[in-house]
Structure 1
Amino acid sequence: MVWWEVSWKPPTGDIIKNNYDASFDQGTRKSVSGILARNREGLVMAACIFPWENIPDSMMAEARACLQAVTIAKEMGFQDILVKGDALTIIRKLNSAEDDKLSISSLIKEIKWRGHRFRRLRFEYVPREANKVAHGMALEGRQHENPQY
């Protein structure tokens, strides 16, 4: 399979797959997180958008969206979670045991801390093409927040 043929695939077993993405507007320092949780049949378990203000950069917007995806999963009582996003830096930081000095380090620590509340939690990178529904939700949410887009 080549990169342009990538599409969403259902999780196996009792895992809930949470895809997340964020849109970011540097001029207004606002972002919108889009989160979509689906089960192995592809049924939507949750679909949410969350607006954020005072976001300094796109990396912070992505980290905030990931934290929200984990928070939603816990609030809904899911125990086995696969969180997928298209921000490779965020996914690498979440899968690393090392601390860093990036502006998102406190959010990464918070996400990891919340991860201990699940039976199983994994973070995986997904190309944007396979994350297009969460991406579209984030863009749509931004248009509702800022009608000029």
Structure 2
Amino acid sequence: MDRYCFVHFHHCQKVSIKANWDAAIDKANSRVGIGVIVRNSEGAIMASLCSSMDLFPDPLLGEAIAARRASSFCADLGFQHVILEGDSLLVVKAIQNKEDSWSDSGLVIRDIKILLSKFLSWSILHVHREVNVIAHHLAKFALSCQEDCIMIEDCPPCIKQLL
């Protein structure tokens, strides 16, 4: 269980929120940074997350873990209708695919599918890196974080100039 209190946005339950995710890899230190930015339908920030972990620097696995974290973050916040966006086409296609894979990233994808099945509605879309720049900056910032940085209705100063 993560070290933050759960906040429920009851007034947003019928509105889809959009969660962009990304991963940053630090090969030298075998670390992965995860960035997630959650916005409402008007584009206002609902929440942000930066997290890092020690992990073999596999980009596909890192992106899959970031997508799983985005999914669980939205569930923890109480959202029921989510749109996930990421710049890893392989992860997006794997989540959309009905077949399961037993590789490391495939097992993470399977976890994501289970998490997503609990939402009332969900979709996952591939976006180009230019569209995903805020999540990318959060993921890079996460590499310098010693513990999770979760902000509700706000985001870290490192991305304020991008908004």
TM-score by length of 2: 0.77
Q: Which amino acid aligns with 2:30?
A: R
Partner of 2:158: none
CA distance in 2, matches of 1:99, 1:129: 30
CA distance in 1, matches of 2:60, 2:36: 16
CA RMSD of aligned residues (A): 1.4
Partner of 1:95: 96
Partner of 1:39: 40
3-state DSSP class of the match of 1:123? strand
Partner of 1:68: 69
Deviation at 1:144, TM superposition (A): 4.4
Partner of 2:25: 24
CA distance in 2, matches of 1:129, 1:79: 27
Partner of 2:131: 130
1:62 and 1:90 in contact (8 A); partners too = yes
Partner of 1:59: 60
Structure 2: unaligned runs, 5 residues or longer: 1-13, 147-163
Q: Which stretch has the larger CA shift, 122-131 or 95-104?
A: 95-104
Structure 1: unaligned runs, 5 residues or longer: 1-12
Aligned residues: 133
Q: Which amino acid aligns with 1:92?
A: K
C-alpha distance after superposition, 1:52-107 (max 9, x if no partner): 11234111111110000000100011000000000100000000001234330110
Partner of 1:121: 122
3-state DSSP class of the match of 1:66? helix
